[in-house]
A and B are shown apart, each in its own frame.
Chain A
Amino acid sequence: MSELNSISLSELCRLRDEGVVRDEEILDSFESRYRQHEPRLHAFVHRYRSGSAEGGILRSIPYATKANLAVRGQPQDCASRLLRGYRAPYDATVTRRLREAGAVVVGSTNMDEFGMGSTTEYSCYGPTRHPLDPERSPGGSSGGAAAAVATGMVAFALGTDTGGSVRQPAAHCGVFGLRPTWGRISRWGLTAFASSMDQVGILTRRAEDLPVVLGLLTGRDAFDATTHQVPTREVGRGDLRGLRVAFDPAGLGFAEAEVAVAFEGFVADLRSAGAEVRELSLPASTAALECYLLLSSVEAASNLARFDGTVYGRRRGGDHYEEMVRRTRSAGFGEEVKRRILRGTLVLAAGESGAELGRARRLRARIRREQIDALRGHDALLMPTTPAGPPRIGAPRGESKQTTDPDRFTAPASLAGLPALAAPAGRARNGLPWSVQWVGAPDADETLIAIAMACEAEGLGR
């Protein structure tokens, strides 16, 4: 029954409902893939089973969650030393909704600590390996989720995306990664990194699986004041003929040559399939990366302030409160998290008058306006998901890698709160996947999925 790991969600549910496969067989089939791949990949950091006795459309369908999402009674340590041993006493809204649909969460996947990173190397549990090349990273921060989905260990996975943490590993692992419109999925139970950009995302092997999960998760939630309701829409396969697509060629300058060439090939394929692909200039969005790093660090400094060891988390003792907090945070946080907290604190301490913060906020507003304006005349914006292929584990990181920063192409949609979908677009010369990113107007998530389904059907990027 190994094909259970490659068929679509709806096909899987049909086989189950028709009695062709038993519920236990479904779980076993994915479990055996887990046993086969996990020792090599290290995709999971906590393994457990948590579902509901009640049935639902996803009854007995196993999925993976991310270590920063709350599952009642299970660890929610965000791959941080500081939170090791902490267990969530409540369900995230996404967990609850999937539980109500009958899905079974089989574990929490690896990630960069608190979502800050793009390789999983900043996990306190060590990195996850790329399914096709153990020397490389699957990307991050939702790297464990992407690797688990790519190898069929689960039917789908939840990730979280602040600056590209769902799309970027999805791209590296050759799976679909949807970052929905900000506010469409509740963040209740998602450990905050940068609240105004954090979003739960979905990783699947097939585009047609996305609307199944999205439909269950989306909608207003009484526990998240920033959610909004969108009428449910049927997602049919879109038509590439007449599709209006735009891209900014200037952005390609930030991509590695091979990526740029592959992207141009993809555009040519789209055109021959009947799509209308236009070039336009998005100058503000091109400058999004620095703006993203600054604003997300500011919010991170605020959101991570609560981790002081007082009520929960690994407390390091001290003679007084200040010493306890200093020692707890010094020992508990990893280097990258500390870097971002310090940067955010410094920017925030400069105050509203601080030119840096004001400039970044104004730029963010311009980026959003610019993208939404561009989307008035187009169905979607297109760009590569990542400027380069999967990085090698242990490669030097940080300031020196600015030009091909993994968030380069994903940050604009994050800042603008727009839906964005990473879709596999074929293989590079080294045999590793590469991916395109579709960005849509607010709440046009379904449009993006329909486009991806059409591309899949037409064999684009195979």
Chain B
Amino acid sequence: MNSPPLVIGLEVHVQLRTQTKLFSRSLHCYGAPRNTLVDPHCLGLPGTLPILQERAVELALRLAAALGMEISECSRFDRKHYFYPDLPKNYQITQQSHPLARGGALRLSVDQGSSAVAIQQLHLEEDAARCLHQEQETLLDFNRAGAPLVEVVTDPVITDALQAGEFLREMRRLVRWIGVSDGNMNEGSLRCDANISLDAEGFRGVVVEVKNLNSIAQVVEALDFEAARLRRAHREGRCPRAQTRFWSPSSRSTGVLREKESRADYRYLPDPDLPPLRISPARIGRAVAAIGELPLDCCLRFQDQFGISEEHAVQLTQNRMEAEYFEQVARRVGGPLAASWILSELRYHLHRTDCTISDSPVSAEDLAQLLSAAEKVSAPRSLIRGQLSRIFDGESTVAGFGAHCRRHRRPEEEVRETLDRILKENAALVVDYRRGKHGVLDHLMGLAFRDLGDGVDARQLRQWCQEELEG
């Protein structure tokens, strides 16, 4: 018997990158000392009322537009009731019956854009406080209470765990790209609950929800685990149960959190404190304009326009600043060169000096200048690498790099002697080469560089080396 197909839907919570909470002017940010970012509203004090902060709406609209969704001209807020210590009012303000946007899809990078996951709806809602469970008691941190979230709900169209992971990676890239969220799953600014069921007799509609998924890898692993569990139940003819389960990273398995609530248990009520949210067509237009080119389009364009590999294009379009940086450099020195330098050397130095691409000591203009100067004099990679490192450490500048290269140039006879010696020492490789294994050329070049250091023209060296081998 074939195992029945999986039906997976995701509920993704994206914390919006605003200064204030969704319904009050209290600030929110990750990592502040506990209970320092609070105000009467987010503590649910008597007499407080929600005031919708427009910046959150703006960012939510931008995401909806980027997903190609139909934005509602009039959405509403509802109260979702349940008693839990992290919910100060014991209801959450969300948009249940009239969400901000419906429809749309997220294109995935696989299959060059032909694959997409349909989105059901996107709505605004407030975040809950954080529960810090101790041995004997639970402490509460209200810094996060009331932080602005959008929940993006997919159609149940995802067919396996890997595709779910793909979706989340693409979603993370998108929210970062258009500037609506930090998209950090480990900090909770991107969260995911997964709903999974089997498309089989008796299993349809019996959905298991998995919570507490703190990384994309965990989502994939948890869904694989649940898929196996459901399929085992199916094989053994057991009835599945609709449950909410949690992922335990330590045991790498899921456990029951609770039997699933039905819809009426939340006792939804239109929130009488908030008037309907009206969005003018002009505002939708502004949201669309604010998106610009989407990462996937940019990724394809980079491959076309600059001739770089898909892998590099994907890496370079993870965030907008880096993509813009790449484009600036690539226009001057060509795509492959720009890509290889940015993805290896630049990233390494940024990481080493704890900088981001936007505050990099080496601007795109600098790097372009450095690389084109190096190209003119055919400076070897190691020389450029050393210069870049010195610039990062403030010991040198881009200007005068060409002269620096020429100063270090070794005389031709010295290079040819070294080359001869290396070929003699590696006679076996020379034989390999002559039998058609041209890949050994790079290895031989590497050996020559090791001995010669910076002062050699790489193109010249390769040419001489080929002459020797073929001659």
Contacts and interface: CB of A to CB of B under 8 A. Distances in A.
Interface of A: 68-70, 76, 78, 83, 86, 88-90, 92, 187-192, 194-196, 222-226, 298-299, 301-302, 305-306, 308, 310-312, 321-322, 325, 345, 348-352
B48 A83 contact: no
A69 B90 CA distance: 21
B268 A352 contact: yes
Closest 8 CB pairs of A and B: A305-B90, A196-B272, A195-B272, A191-B46, A348-B267, A189-B47, A351-B264, A306-B89
B185 interface: no
A299 B81 CA distance: 12
Given A302-B79, A302-B269, A224 B264 contact: no
Contact of A310 (B49, B85, B265, B269): B85
Interface string B82-98: 01110011110000010
B contacts with A: majority SS: loop
A225 B274 contact: yes
A225 B273 contact: yes
A208 B84 CA distance: 49
A299 B269 contact: yes
B275 A192 contact: no
A226 B52 CA distance: 11
Contacts of A194: 272
Interface in B35-57: 40, 43-52
Contacts of B267: 301-302, 345, 348-349, 351
Contacts of B47: 68-70, 76, 88, 92, 187-192
A302 B91 contact: yes
Contacts of A306: 44, 46, 88-91
B83 A308 contact: yes
A76 B46 contact: yes
Contact of B88 (A190, A222, A311): A311
A412 B43 CA distance: 34
A306 B52 CA distance: 20
B435 interface: no
Nearest to B271: A195
A76 B48 CA distance: 12
A311 B142 CA distance: 10
Given A89-B40, A188-B49, A190-B47, A302 B81 contact: yes
Interface residues of B, number: 33
B252 interface: no
Contacts of B263: 351
B51 A305 contact: no
10 contacts: A88-B46, A191-B46, A192-B46, A226-B49, A306-B46, A306-B88, A312-B43, A321-B138, A349-B264, A352-B268
Interface of B: 40, 43-52, 79, 81, 83-85, 88-91, 97, 138, 140, 263-265, 267-269, 272-275
A76 B91 CA distance: 22
A223 B49 contact: yes
Contacts of B268: 351-352
A308 B49 contact: no
Nearest to A80: B46
Nearest to A191: B46
A225 B272 contact: no
Nearest to B138: A321
A194 B274 CA distance: 14
Contacts of B140: 310-311
Contact of A225 (B49, B264, B269): B49
A414 to B, nearest CB: 13
Query: In the complex, which of the residues B265, B272, B275 has the most CB atoms of chain A within 10 Å of its own CB atom?
Result: B272
Query: In the complex, which of the residues B48, B81, B89 has the most CB atoms of chain A within 10 Å of its own CB atom?
Result: B48
A224 B52 CA distance: 10
Query: In the complex, which of the residues A78, A302, A312 has the most CB atoms of chain B within 10 Å of its own CB atom?
Result: A302
B275 to A, nearest CB: 6
A438 B26 CA distance: 42
Contacts of A187: 47, 49
Contacts of A78: 46
A225 B46 CA distance: 17
A322 B85 CA distance: 9
Nearest to B96: A352
Contact of B45 (A89, A190, A325): A89
A86 B263 CA distance: 35
B90 A70 contact: no
Contacts of A299: 269, 272
A305 to B, nearest CB: 4
B275 A225 contact: yes
A306 B46 CA distance: 8
A223 B51 CA distance: 6
A225 B48 contact: no
A211 B202 CA distance: 68
A310 B88 contact: yes
Contacts of A188: 47-49
A348 B267 CA distance: 5
